[in-house]
Amino acid sequence: MENTKFDVVIMGSGMGGLCCGYILSKEGFKVCILEKNRQLGGSLQIFSRDKVIFDTGIHYLGGLAEGENLYGYFKYFGLMDKLKLKQMDMDGFDHITFKGDPTVYKHAQGYDNFIRVLSEQFPEEKENIQRYCAKIREICDFFPLYRIEDDDKDLVSANFLSIDTKTYIESITSNVKLQNVLAGTNPLYAGEADKTPLYVHALVVNSYIESSWKCVDGGGQIATHLAASIKKMGGIIQNYSEAVKFNFEGSNIKEVVLKNGKKIEGKYFISNFDLTKTLDMIEPGHIRQAYRTRITNLRNSISAFILYIVLEKDTQENFNYNIYHYHSNNVWESIKAGSENWPHSFVIFPQASSKEGKYTDSMIVMAYMNYDEVKQWETTKNIIPNNEEDRGPGYEEFKKKKAERLIDAVDARLPGLKKKIKSYYTSTPLTYRDYIGSRDGTLYGVEKDYRDPLKTFIPPKTKIPNLYLTGQNVNLHGVLGVTVSAVVTCSEILGQPKGLIRKIKKFLEENK
C-alpha cells in the first residue's frame, strides 16, 4: 500500500464495509478498506472441503425479485447482472417441522401464496393469517430505507416498537401450532420469548416471503464483485491488515495503527466490526466513560454450532428448501435449551451448486450454541494461515461429541442421512469470533429488546467527530440489514440525510 493517507478508512471488509466502500468510491472519495483476515467478506466468506464449497453465513437471501428491496440495492451496487442465483421452492422455501408431528408446515413465496398455502393447512385460520401478513407489511412500510424510499417517519412514536414478537403472534391466533409455525424461522434472528421486538421479526421474514434465493456456489461472489468494483473506482483493499489502535490529533482521529505497526491516515474512519473492539482502540479521555459503559454492557445475541456435511456421491436427492426442525411444540424454548438436551432445534440449509443435478453433494446444519460452552478455550485463536493455535485435544473431542449428537438428531429427521455422509467439518462460537471479529461469536450482533428499543438503536455517528459505525449493530443484521446500515452511515458522511437514497432511487428509475 503505497499511499497511506485516504479520505475514508474502513476497518472490516464485511458486507457493511464493502457497501460503504462502494458508495463512497462512487461519490469520489479515496477509500481504503482494511481486513485482518486473508479472505474478504466477513459472513460472506466461503471455504472448500473435499472439493465442495461451503458458505459460512449467507445461506439464503430474500427480496431479490425485480422491484423488491434487495434487488434495488444490489442493482445500484452493480451486482444483479453478475450474481449466480437460484430461486427456492415457490410453494415452500422454508419447511417447519416438529418432532412427533408428521406434517410439514410450509412458508411460501409471495404474500398471496403464503396465505394460500398456510390456509390450506389451517383452514379455520385464513383471516388470522391475513391479519398477520398485513401487520408485517405495515411495519416494513414504516422503515423508508428498507423500501428504498425517502419519506419522513416518526419512528420513535411507532407503537410496534414496544411489542414483542411472541405476544403479538399469540394475539393473532389462539392456535398454538400456527403460532409456532409463524415463528418457525426464529433462528434467522435469534428470537427470544418476551424480548425480541416485533419489528425485528417483521423486517427479517418479510423479504424472504417476498422472494427467496440461494447463491449458486456461495455468497462469496457478492464480496468478490463488490471488491472488484471498488478497486476499479480507485479504492484500495488490503487484507492481513488488523487495526489495533487510533492515534488522535485533537478531538479527531488522525490515523489507525495496524498490528504490524503501519499507520494509515484518513479524514473519516468507519468501523465495521464489533462495537466493543472499536472502543478498545480508543484511549481513555477521547470518549465519555458513560458511552463506553453503555456499549460494553449491551448483550449480544447467541452464537451457533455449525456442521458442514460432504455427502457420498449420488446418495441424497436435491431439495430446494430449508428445514427448521424443533424437538418440542414451542419454538421459543430452543434458544434457551441447555447443553444436556442439545440440540433442541436445528436448521438444514441445502446448498446451490453449479455442479448439481438430481443429487446434492453437501448440506449445512446449524444449531444454537452459547459462547460459555467454549469459553475455556477463548485464549486461543485459530485464523488460517496467519494465526493458527492448537486449541488442544479437549476442544477437538468437544466438537466431535457435538457433531455426533447433531448428526443423530438430523438423521432422525432425514432417516438414513448418517450413512450418506462422506465427511464433515464444524465451526463453533470461537470460529465466528476469530473470523468475523465479534467478541463472543454472536450470530446477529446486539440483542434487541422491546422493553427498551431505543437502547439498541446505535447511531452511525459517534461522539468522535470523524469516527462512524456501520454493520449489523447499527441497523439490523443480515445482508439487507447491513446494506441499509451502509446507506445510513454514508449519508452521514456525505451530509445528505435524504440525498443518497434519492440518488439510488434516481439510478433505479433510469436503469429499469
Q: Which of 215, 241, 262 is the last residue of a domain?
A: 215
Domain check: are 306 and 364 in the same one?
A: yes
Query: 495 and 423, same structural domain?
Result: no
| C-beta separation of 491 from 499 below 8 A | yes
Tell me the residue range of the domain where 311 lies.
Answer: 302-443
- Residue 496 is predicted with a pLDDT of 80
Give yes or no for residue 427 having a pLDDT over 90: yes
- Please, what is the average pLDDT of the chain? 92
The answer on pLDDT for 1 being more than 60 is: no
Answer yes or no: is 472 within a domain: yes
Q: What is the pLDDT of residues 340-362, one digit of tens each?
A: 889 999 999 999 998 878 999 99
Residues 241-277: tens digit of each pLDDT: 999 999 999 999 999 999 999 999 999 999 998 888 8
- Domain end among 171, 196, 215: 215
pLDDT of 303 higher than 60: yes
Return d(Cα 478, Cα 270) in angstroms, integer.
19
How far, CA to CA in Å, does 53 sit from each of 62, 188, 198, 221? Answer: 21, 22, 35, 12
The H-assigned helical ranges of 31-110 are 69-76
**This prediction's pTM:** 0.95
The letter for the amino acid at 340 is E
Residues 263 and 330 in one domain: no
61 inside domain: no
pLDDT per position as a tens digit, 140-189: 998 988 999 987 766 666 777 789 999 999 999 999 999 999 999 999 99
Residues 341 and 254 reside in one and the same domain: no
Is 94 within the bounds of a domain? no
Residue 259 and residue 312 share a domain: no
| 102 contact partners, CB below 8 Å, separation of at least 6 | none
Residue 60: inside a domain, yes or no?
Answer: no
Burial 241-255 (b: 16+ CB within 10 A, else e): bbbeebeeeeebbeb
Q: Residue 3 pLDDT > 80, yes or no?
A: no
In this prediction, residue 357 carries a pLDDT of: 84
CA-to-CA separations, 411 to 176, 321, 339, in angstroms, rounded: 27, 17, 19
Residue 180 sits in the same domain as residue 230? no
63: in domain? no
Domain C-terminal end among 389, 412, 443: 443
The proportion of the chain whose per-residue pLDDT surpasses 70, expressed as a percent, equals 97
Domain assignment present for 371: yes
Question: Which pLDDT score, from 0 to 100, does residue 4 have?
Answer: 75
Q: Is residue 93 part of a domain?
A: no
* Contact yes or no for 72/271 (Cβ under 8 A): no
Q: Are residues 342 and 399 in the same domain?
A: yes
User: Does residue 328 sit in the same domain as residue 228?
Assistant: no
Residues 125 and 150 in one domain: yes
Find out whether 115 and 124 touch, Cβ atoms under 8 Å.
no
Contacts of 81 (CB under 8 A, 6+ apart): none
Instruction: Give 234's contacts (C-beta < 8 A, 6+ positions apart).
Output: 25, 30, 31
For the cut 50, the answer to whether the pLDDT of residue 202 exceeds it is: yes
pLDDT digits (tens, 9 = 90+) for 57-106: 889 999 999 999 999 999 999 999 999 999 999 999 999 999 999 999 99
Same-domain pairing of 372 and 432: yes
Percent of the chain with pLDDT over 90: 76
* CATH number, domain containing residue 243: 3.50.50.60
* Residues 430 and 327 placed together within one structural domain of the fold: yes
| pLDDT of 475 | 75
- Quote the number of domains for the chain: 3
200 and 188 share a domain?
A: yes
- 308: in domain: yes
